[in-house]
Amino acid sequence: MTAHASNLAHLPESLNQAHEHRGRDAAHIIKSDAEAIAVAHQVATEIAKEASIRDKERRLPRKELDLFSSSGLWGITVPKEYGGAGVSNKTLAEVIAIVAEADPSIGQIPQNHLYMVEGLRLDGTDFQKRYFFDLVLQGVRFGNAFSEVGTKSVNDVKTRLTPANSGYFLNGKKFYSSGALLADWVPVVAKDENDNTVVAFVPAGAEGLTIIDDWSSFGQRTTASGTTILDNIFVPSEHVVPHHLAFDRPTAMGPVAQIIQAAVDTGIARAAFKDTLHFVRNYTRPWIDTELEHGYEDPHTIKDIGDLQIRIHATDALLARAGEYIDEAQRNPNEETVAEASIAVAEAKVLSTETALLAGSKLFELAGTRSTLGEYNLDRHWRNARTHTLHDPVRWKYHAVGNYSLNKVKPPRHPWI
């Protein structure tokens, strides 16, 4: 403990030096919702250029992620009183959707970073808010070590935080650690001595922290969502947030987590549809039982394209609507506003899931056999959709929406609804 504790006073300086050593630009500070949307489009243009190649080669997006965080987009939800833009959740969702359309792996990576910004806003001490929000505005990235494998449910946590002199020791093993390999800090979900859920912020490079790049899914290949090992890591008390408080009372913590997931799926749907239009317009041949000159004149194809476009527009609308409900829940948190926000996000999540999967599949039906060739790598859209939408099964979203509408039963408060 002494060796760990002796370095605590130097953590901020060491972190800044590491930030500079990686050659990352100082983060731009975004000031408004409109600027956030404009910057997201600029970043998306750049990261889209090699998205397919990164997927094929399973190459981690190091320089692209540096561009993303340096753009200031990772700090847009920092409250205005702490120097951030404090953008609306409608804007947040659209920013993620824009980036995810370019590369959904990159769109997913900041999900838990943004989740923890909200967690700090709700339950961080003033010191924690000032300290960590300042780092976020500098371009510092939070990864995550939340979920575990081999437990009874996703909410079952075996990782433990044990009291020690002036802090705690952290021990456990995590999986699905999206972005942790490329993060500056790794927030870890653990149980404390009272069996309460807490989050311990661990700096990258801390003694006892091992992050393994062993993510092997067929989709979302470059999120680096692998294994994190926590071996007797010392964590000062100032770096522990009582995360259970965000769910012990009505807050928008769960809806914030979920709208980001829905935004990623919305981006995937947009990308699949965009590639469908391009392929059908440029390569698809007309069917032999017609006298048409071009595949894009096929009336059945036109009908299906229209159906997809309507579904994507409906998904966009539900996503924006969900953001507005979250904004109200944050302004006026109570049982009713939080339940309404959760249900609104669940509706968006259902449609974004189904639209992304449908768009990824319809692409091949409408574009034809040639579109399955490996040189185009168009199957990445369906693979990404199928993988990412498994986070929170929509069958339970239907249940939550139906039970609320029919029986006025409020959904449970947790990050998965």
What pLDDT digit, counting tens, does each position of 299-345 carry?
999 999 999 999 999 999 999 999 999 999 999 999 999 999 999 99
Phi and psi at residue 49, in whole multiples of 5°?
-60, -40
Supply the pLDDT for residue 9: 36
Q: Which secondary-structure segment (H or E) carries 15?
A: helix 11-21
Supply the pLDDT for residue 152: 83
Binning the chain into helix, strand and coil, the percentages to the nearest 5 are: 55, 10, 30
pLDDT in tens, 160-199: 999 999 899 999 999 999 999 999 999 999 999 999 999 9
> Structure tokens of 171?
């021990």
> Structure tokens of 417?
């609804």
Supply the pLDDT for residue 23: 54
Q: What percent of the chain has pLDDT over 90?
A: 90
pLDDT in tens, 87-142: 999 999 999 999 999 999 999 999 999 999 999 999 999 999 999 999 999 999 99
- Average pLDDT, stretch 265-291? 97
pLDDT in tens, 212-259: 999 999 999 999 899 999 999 999 999 999 999 999 999 999 999 999
pLDDT in tens, 269-281: 999 999 999 999 9
Q: Are 339 and 411 in contact (CB under 8 A)?
A: yes
Supply the pLDDT for residue 343: 98
Nearest of 324, 321, 220 to residue 267 by alpha carbon? 220
Q: Are 174 and 224 in contact (CB under 8 A)?
A: no
Considering the entire predicted model, what is its pTM?
0.94
> Structure tokens of 245?
């408080």
Supply the pLDDT for residue 384: 98
Confidence of residue 151 (pLDDT cuts 50, 70, 90): confident
Supply the pLDDT for residue 307: 98
Confidence of residue 417 (pLDDT cuts 50, 70, 90): confident
Q: How many CB atoms lie within 10 A of CB 82?
A: 18
- Average pLDDT, stretch 61-90? 98
Supply the pLDDT for residue 19: 42
pLDDT in tens, 5-58: 333 333 334 334 334 435 567 899 999 999 999 999 999 999 999 999 999 999
